[in-house]
Amino acid sequence: TDPTFTRATAATFEDFEGVIRTVESSEPRFQGARRVENLVPFSEDLENAGWFNDKITVVTGITDPDGGSTAFSITAAGTMGQLVDTYPVPVPVRPIELLRGSWYIKRRSGTGAITLRNPNNTQLDITANITTSWQRFATNAADASYDTAYIGINIAVSGDSLDVWHPQLEQIRGQTNQNPSEYVSTGVGTGPEL
């Protein structure tokens, strides 16, 4: 049988940088590991109604960087198409939330401007760096915009298309290494130091 783990309350552990972190109830703790929590509510379902979709066509079943078919193709169906998700920042952590978003992206067609939505709802232009090969792009580290953190992509030119995979929004406050960590689907995972 597969092992199971349960705990009814939150707990703490020392992470890979020696910082005491809190984990959720029923979340395993691994001393010395990097805790990763993906705050994107629908990280593997870009068609979910939770994503704000304005003039974007989403196609599923696209070949991903691992050779599977879990990526998405998104195409602007008008000028300034956007696909955006939000995370409601809990009241106790609003003043201290520092977040970074990341996506795997490659250009499918077109040459127009592409911007990522930073957690504070500003834009990061990544147009010059996008190629037809998969790359992981990270937003600027930013505090949430009051009670909401953002992650999203804007495609400026109608008809331009991208392949995208594994959006992740994570808390990085207090971490020396603030690079995007390994991807976990919506929820929590604890992995090795990166």
Q: Name the band, by pLDDT with cuts 50, 70 and 90, for residue 133.
A: very high
Exposure b/e, 34-66, CB count within 10 A at least 16 = b: bbbbbbbbebebbeeeebebeebebeeebebbe
Q: Name the band, by pLDDT with cuts 50, 70 and 90, for residue 189.
A: low
Q: Name the band, by pLDDT with cuts 50, 70 and 90, for residue 167.
A: very high
Whether this prediction's pTM lies above 0.95 is answered by no
Mean of the pLDDT values across residues 9-19?
74
Q: Give residue 187's pLDDT.
A: 56
For residue range 70-114, list pLDDT tens digits in order. 999 999 999 999 999 998 877 655 555 789 999 999 999 999 999
